Structure 1
Amino acid sequence: MDEYVDILDEQGNPKGQSCLKSEAHRKGLLHPTIHVWLYTQDGRVLIQQRGKHKDTHPLLWDVSVAGHVSSGEEISVAAVREVQEEVGLTVSEKDLEPIGTFKAVHKISEDFIDAEFHHIYLCKLKVPLTALTKQDSEVDDLALIPLFKFAEETWGLANVAKYVPHGPTYYKTIVKEIKSRI
C-alpha cells in the first residue's frame, strides 16, 4: 500500500515534509519505520518470512514485525498497529520495549533506495505460535527459533543468506538485548 511518510534528515529528525512511500523509495529519502522483535521467556525469537511479492527481499526471513510509520503517526502507535496487522497479535504501547534506532540505506535498484530509520522494539510473546495469524499479503510464514540458532545464522555467518541483510551489528544488538531479558 502506498502511504504518506514523513521525511527525515541524516540524524533522523523530521524535516517537516512528507511524500508517498513510493517516492521516498524512488528518491532515497530517509523515513521512519518500526521493527518489533517478539521473543519468548524460554529464549526463542519469532521470525517472519517475507511475502513472495514484496518489493524488497521476498521470501527472506526477517524481523518478527516491520512496517512504515504513516505521516504524522506516533512511532509506538505504528508499532502496535503493525503487530496487529502482520501477526494478528494485540499489544499495547506499554508492552513495547524501545531499544534504539538503526539507520539503514540499501540500494535495491537504480530507482529504489530503501533509506530508513528503524525504530526497534522488543516485546515478550505470551501466546503460542498457533495463536498468531499472519497477514498473507505481507508474510509468507512465521517461525519460533532458539535465540542461539538465530545468533549463529545471522551473525555467526552460518546461514546469513537466509535473512534480510541488516548486517552483523544490527543482529548482534537484537540478540544481546533479548538475551539480557530472558
Structure 2
Amino acid sequence: MEHEVLKVFNEQYEQIGTATRAEVHTKGLWHETFHCWLVNNDYIYFQLRSAEKKDYPSLLDITAAGHLLAEETAESGFREVQEELGISVDRQTAVKMGMTSCSIISENMVDNEFCHVYFYPFQHDWDAFHLQSEEVAGIVRVKLDEAESFFSGETAMLNVEGYEYFLAGGRVRIMRPVTMAHFVPYREQYMAQVIHFAKMMSRTSQL
C-alpha cells in the first residue's frame, strides 16, 4: 500500500507530478481521493473503521473512500464500495456532488485531498453488507436533520444506529449517542457540503 503511486497537484489542482502514498502524507502533497456516501431517504451512513487501522482506528468515517492511483479516473474509485462494503454499485444511479478540497492534519501525517464525492441511494437492508474486516468493523446511519445540527455545532451529541460485524460471522447492534471525538476530523465545511447535498437529493426524490 505504501508503494502505491498517486498523482500530485498544486493548490490550483494542476498536476505537478507523482509520488507514493507515503510521500504525499509525509510531505502534505495534494492528491486525489474518492468518497462515496450511502444515503437512504432521511439517513446517511458512516463506516466504523477497523481497530487495526494505522490511522484513525475505531472512528466513524465516510461510508466508503480511498485514494485514486495515478492511472485511475474518479469513477475508478467505485471499487472501494465493493472492496470495503461488499456492495455492487450501479454507477448510473450514483450522483456526483462534485470535487472539493479537504485537509486533515494529525501527529502522523498531513492529508491534503482533492475529493471526488459521490452519493449512492442505498435500497437494501443491513444484510447486504459484507465488510472487508481489516478496513471496516461496522456500519451505522444517522438522520440527516440530526447530522446537520451536529456538524454545525448546534448539538454536542448525535444518535447512531447500525451494526458491528464480526469476521467469524454475526453482528451486534449499535445504538448510542456519539460525540465529535468519535469521527475522523474532516473539516466542518466539508461535512456541511455533504449534508446539504444529501438533503437536497432527498427533497428532489433522487433517493
* Fold shared, TM-score > 0.5 on shorter chain: yes
Task: Tell me how large the CA RMSD over aligned residues is.
Answer: 1.6
Following superposition, the deviation at residue 130 of structure 1 comes to 1.8
Q: How does 1:100-115 map to 2 (within 5 A)?
A: 100-109=98-107, 112-115=109-112
Deviation readout 1:38-70 (Å, 9 max, x if unpaired): 1013x1111111122323222111111111001
Q: What is the aligned-residue identity percentage?
A: 28
Which residue pairs with 2:13 in the alignment? Answer: 12
How do residues 7-86 of structure 1 correspond to structure 2 at under 5 angstroms? 7-15=8-16, 17-41=17-41, 43-78=42-77, 80-86=78-84
Aligned counterparts of 1:55 and 1:102: Cα–Cα separation in 2: 25
Task: Work out which of the two has the higher radius of gyration on C-alpha atoms and give 1 or 2.
Answer: 2
Counterpart residue number, 1:153: 150
| Corresponding residue for residue 168 of structure 1 | 188
Distance in 1, Cα, partners of 2:110 & 2:189:
21
TM-score (norm 1): 0.90
Runs of 4+ with >3 A deviation:
none
User: Matched residue pairs, number?
Assistant: 178
Equivalences for residues 71-150 of structure 1 within 5 A: 71-78=70-77, 80-109=78-107, 112-150=109-147
Give the residue type in structure 1 aligned to 2:27: K
SS at match of 2:12: coil
CA distance in 1, matches of 2:53, 2:129: 21
Distance (whole Å) between structure 2 residues aligned to residue 95 and residue 59 of structure 1: 30
What is the CA–CA distance in structure 2 between the aligned matches of 1:139 and 1:171, rounded to whole Å? 20
What is the Cα deviation at residue 9 of structure 1?
Answer: 1.5
Q: Distance in 1 between matches of 2:187 and 2:115?
A: 13
Gaps of 5+ in 2: 157-178, 203-207
| CA shift in 2, pair 1:162/1:151, >3 Å | farther
Higher relative contact order (CA 8 A, sep 6+): 1
**SS at structure 1 position matched to 2:197:** helix
